Amino acid sequence: FEDLRDRCMLLLEGDIFVTQRQEPSLALVRLSYNDGMIYVSADGMPTISFSALDRDIYSKESKTVRVRKFTYTAVEAPEEVSTWFGRYLKKDNIRLVRILQEKCVHPEGAPIAFQDEASFHVLSEASLQDLNSRLSGATVSELNFRPNFFIDGCEPYAEDRWRYVQVGDAVIEFFDRCARCLQTTVDPESGVKSVTKEPLTSLRTYRVDTSEEGKEKYNLVPLLGVLYFLHKEGTAAAGDEVRAVVADKPLL
């Protein structure tokens, strides 16, 4: 999709960014793409469409948007799309914005769009299976964690030691472990948070770094998956072979 990029749009309530952490029902919004158009739908709502590429983006008034510790330049998406999300969430001050990437300054290792921490998130299927084996109730899927790269064929938590990862002819470099938050407790099928706060509750029993350095860096928050930034541009596709430069112990 040449005119569509990962996390190039963001919902705001006033000046505060909105995610499933605050509005878990966003998990039930359906997005599709066809012939340059984005289609947005949800149960009980009409389908709305708008162009994936805003050809007038540089003539629009821009504003600064903050996502955690990073700031970005953004412009308003079509008003009718913001209105759709406001009706769906039953809130008045909801707006959808697009990132104006060419006007954003990206420090080394920083995300290039509206990601929380880094541009890429890697999780292995084996790690997810191991987590599910520890859950006493319903299992979870990769949709609870939303990795960019969901990798099979390795041991559980092998990704904790991958300093560099090559997928296709692209190479990504270790940035940080992924500290998990309440968004992982949102059931992607129902749009409802787990009352038992799973899978976070189980992750806290075995995926907390208790080393002195780990406690200082991650504050006893459970870790699952690894964050990366781009080291070498290239093309990656589903089914590509994955190669890794492996450290002798889990990276911090």
C-alpha 123/C-alpha 131 separation (Å) is: 12
Q: Is residue 108 part of a domain?
A: no
- Give the amino acid at 129: Q
Inside any domain, residue 109: no
**89 and 154 share a domain?**
no
Residues 95 and 173 reside in one and the same domain:
no
DSSP E strands, 1-87: 9-13, 16-18, 30-34, 37-42, 45-51, 62-67, 70-76
Residue 202 domain-assigned (yes or no): yes
Mean pLDDT by 10 residues, the chain (252 residues): 75 94 97 94 97 81 83 90 98 92 54 73 98 95 97 98 98 96 96 97 97 95 96 95 96 88
Which structural domain range is residue 165 located in? 120-246
Q: Does a structural domain hold residue 4?
A: no
Per-residue model confidence (pLDDT) at position 54: 82
> Is residue 159 a part of any domain in this protein?
yes
pLDDT of residue 100: 79
Q: Environment class of residue 3 by beta-carbon count within 10 Å: exposed (0-12), middle (13-18) or buried (19+)?
A: middle
Distances (CA, A) of 56 to 83, 96, 233: 20, 16, 28
Residues 95 and 129 in one domain: no
